[in-house]
Amino acid sequence: MRMVLSILTVGMVLAPAAWATVWPVSITEFAFTPDTVNVAQGDTVIWTNNGVLRHSSTSGTGGIPDSIWDSGLLSPAATYSQPFPNTGSFPYFCTVHPSTMTGTVVVGPPTGFEEGRQVLVPTSLALAVSPNPFRSSASIRYSPRGSSPVSLEIIDLNGRLVRAIEPGIGRAQWDGTAGDGRQAQAGVYLVQLSQGANRNYARLVKLQ
């Protein structure tokens, strides 16, 4: 059955994948923070090892993997991302510390889908970046909800502010520099779009 796509945009049309959100989880000795993440179907969870030891994010319970995902051992500062295309509750653990380091990803139905009316309406802020990865400059496209002010920030995977971006009308640019004007290090960053209490994130990779 043909589905009609209705998207509130500012001078652009974004693909449905733009509604997906990236949810960061911090790995430390000896915990996942937060240990339970509630996401929507189609979202991605990204784990960052902020500890000094090696850890993993491995799906399963009781120290027994179930083969849904396995990051392998992550060295300090390493990251691992996992998309969640299906709903359900997904427990996981660290293979090095299976009894003390556990977590759960709870995946609910996608928000904004009114399937009975054959209409897809975004209930979160639309956000997309390209090219991704990038070297010199990345284009940020977004669609706010309503007319209240929005803010755009580049943050690292520890949640620290790297650069505040002046938002344009549905579009902005990041030239890869930090707030002090120097080039940010190559790595993985999150573009944070905020409007009131609403937030959305896009994962962005900066190359050397």
Tell me, yes or no, whether 76 lies in a domain.
yes
Tell me, yes or no, whether 17 lies in a domain.
no
Which CATH number does the domain housing residue 53 bear?
Answer: 2.60.40.420
Residues 26 and 104 placed together within one structural domain of the fold: yes
Say how many C-beta atoms besides its own lie within 10 A of residue 5's C-beta.
11
Tell me, yes or no, whether 78 lies in a domain.
yes
Which CATH number does the domain housing residue 158 bear?
Answer: 2.60.40.3080
Residues 97 and 155 placed together within one structural domain of the fold: no
Say whether pTM exceeds 0.75: no
Q: What distances in angstroms separate CA 56 from CA 25, 50, 74, 93, 102, one per listed residue?
A: 12, 12, 6, 7, 10
Among 67-76, 163-172, 179-188, which stretch is predicted with the lowest mean pLDDT? 163-172
Task: Please give the residue that has the higher pLDDT: either 177 or 117.
Answer: 177
Which DSSP state fits 30? T
Length of the chain: 208
Residues 99 and 152 placed together within one structural domain of the fold: no
pLDDT of residue 117: 30
Residues 92 and 154 placed together within one structural domain of the fold: no
pLDDT of residue 109: 81
Residues 135 and 187 placed together within one structural domain of the fold: yes
Tell me, yes or no, whether 2 lies in a domain.
no
The residues with which 126 forms a beta bridge, in sequence order, are 143
Task: Please give the residue that has the higher pLDDT: either 27 or 120.
Answer: 27
On the question of pLDDT at 71 being above 80, the answer is yes
Residue-wise over 115-138: b if at least 16 C-beta within 10 A, else e? eeeeebebebbbbbbeeeebeeeb
Task: In whole angstroms, give the CA distance from residue 37 to residue 95.
Answer: 19
On the question of pLDDT at 94 being above 90, the answer is yes
Strand order in the sheet with 151-156: 161-165, 151-156, 187-195, 198-206
Q: Total structural domains in the chain?
A: 2
Tell me, yes or no, whether 198 lies in a domain.
yes
Tell me, yes or no, whether 3 lies in a domain.
no
Tell me, yes or no, whether 118 lies in a domain.
no
pLDDT of residue 35: 92
Average pLDDT over residues 110-129: 48
- DSSP string of 91-112, one letter each residue: EEE-SSSTTT-EEEEEEEPPTT
Residues 131 and 98 placed together within one structural domain of the fold: no
Among 76, 108, 140, which residue terminates a domain?
108
On the question of pLDDT at 119 being above 60, the answer is no
Residues 31 and 91 placed together within one structural domain of the fold: yes
Residues 100 and 154 placed together within one structural domain of the fold: no
Task: Please give the residue that has the higher pLDDT: either 171 or 97.
Answer: 97
Domain that holds residue 92: 22-108
Tell me, yes or no, whether 14 lies in a domain.
no
